[in-house]
Amino acid sequence: MNEFANLLSAFVKEKGVKIQPFARYCGYDRANMYKILKGQRNLPGREIVEKAAKYMHLLPSEEEKLWEAYEISAQGSDNYYRRKEVQKFFTEPILSSNVNITALTEGEPAKFCILNNESIPLRGGYEIDAALFRLIGEESRNKDGHLRLMIQPESNSLSSILSVHGNYACNTRIDHIVCLSSNPENVYRKKNYNLDCLRCVLPLYNYNYDYNTWYYYSKIPVQEKKFGLFPYMVLSSKYACVLTADMQKGYITAKPEILRIFEEIFEECIEESKPMIRRITDLDEQFEVTGKILKNKDQVQSFQMTPCLTPVLTEQIYEKYLKKELPGREKLIQTLCTYGEEIKRSDIQYVTSLEGIKRFLKTGIISEWPPELYDPLEMDDRIQLIKDLIFSDNGINIRILKKTVGNFDAEIYLCVSREYGILKFIVPEKQMQLHLMLEETGLLFSFFDFCENLSTEQMFSSSEEIESFLKDLFTK
């Protein structure tokens, strides 16, 4: 039996539902209803789920469970939970940390201040956090600083400590090796482990570090924590700190001969690892990466809640709104025009939202452009661009969500093929945009699959709904 049949049968039994009238209400005869309840037929249509929930007077929480069981049966368990995790990624892109930084700064144990050529055992989370706080703090203020991390990114204390020192860092280089699941479709405790790793490292690109992530594949990391002696390692130019997987025991040393051994081990490991994310630093590099994505023969997926307007931007728009004082302005306009033509020729499926369109019409801000490059568009041009994007016969494949996924103030933008991807996200505190190139195949598959398999019936607006919504907006 499938998940849907199991749960539907349980509700029928729990509610004391008589099969004959229930089947007739749903449009089936008695025999076929029994086959559905036993999972011996293909899944019924969605309208049957609605009728069943209505007939049995299910509570909202019960109806939600029935719909989830239906989707699990329709998509398969791995697909369902992976896609659910991707949606969560867009909704909750940055994980919070919970280490007590105030306690570390006010009560740092004195023994770490006198660390010289000795080794000190560490017991408990507080001692480990204090040691890492000092090690990372010293190195991050060094102009030639280099931190080497071999530790899973869900370590909340490490992320918090890096964030505290990050605003004052002197562009310290960080090489961070993480272990990803060897099966990109593996769902561990109904979560996509690799996606969680990505969500954890993203905030660390916000700070004054030269931050680089590397990955290798294995089984889900450190499941049997008691059997891993010291799987985690944090190195600076002066100290080496090795830790157990539960971050409760370890030791820190400043002995040069031991530090050299750990550095050799780390370099051997990084040679066997691959880059996970690369930061894109300028427009030229962004165009280059986007070109790699567009060269893919398969469809490209674009997912952003504010509309992607590049396919309908014209040379006249660039001339009118790009700031006059920009260096190399004329060359930039020609590059943007060429880039736009390439976008138009590509097979791209765009996903945006009604609220995102409304937001653009209100602000005149084009989300693809760094805000320092241009002035917000005038209302007439805003309206015309939306008309060109949605109503013109220009072959643009666009779908519009009824409800926004995520938060506009910290929005994540995605452009992805099966081989390359670009993630752009807003850092609200710094009023800046970060562009990251993504190459890890499991993550690319997760994002592409999510966009490709969004439910059209439940999530997207019909052409009539879009036309009515925009007519009202244009009038206002």
CA atoms within 13 A on the CB side of 329: 12
Here the tokens at position 22 are 């229930």
pTM of the model: 0.83
CB distance 199 to 154 below 8 Å: no
- Burial of residue 284 (number of CB atoms within 10 Å: 0-12, 13-18, 19+): exposed
What is d(CA 157, CA 124) in angstroms, rounded to the nearest whole number?
A: 12
Query: pLDDT in tens for each of the 476 residues of the chain?
Result: 689 999 999 999 999 999 999 999 999 999 999 999 998 888 998 899 999 999 999 999 999 999 999 999 998 888 888 888 898 888 876 644 445 555 555 555 445 554 565 788 999 888 898 899 989 999 999 888 999 999 988 776 888 889 889 888 888 999 999 998 876 455 555 678 888 888 888 888 888 899 999 999 886 555 555 556 788 999 999 999 999 888 889 999 999 999 999 999 999 999 999 999 888 888 788 888 888 888 777 789 999 999 999 999 999 999 999 999 999 899 999 999 998 888 888 899 999 999 999 999 999 999 888 888 899 999 999 999 999 999 877 788 999 999 988 888 778 899 999 888 999 887 655 555 788 899 888 899 999 999 988 876 678 888 888 988 888 888 87
Q: Tell me how far apart the alpha carbons of residues 306 and 377 are, in angstroms, rounded to a whole number.
A: 15
Strand partners, 349: 301, 397
**CA 180 to CA 444: how far, in whole Å?**
13
Amino acid occupying residue 308: C
Domains located in the chain, CATH noted:
3-75 (1.10.260.40), 101-276 (3.30.870.10), 281-475 (no CATH)
Distance separating alpha carbons of residues 463 and 391, to the nearest angstrom: 10
Q: Which two tokens stand for residue 367?
A: 């989300």
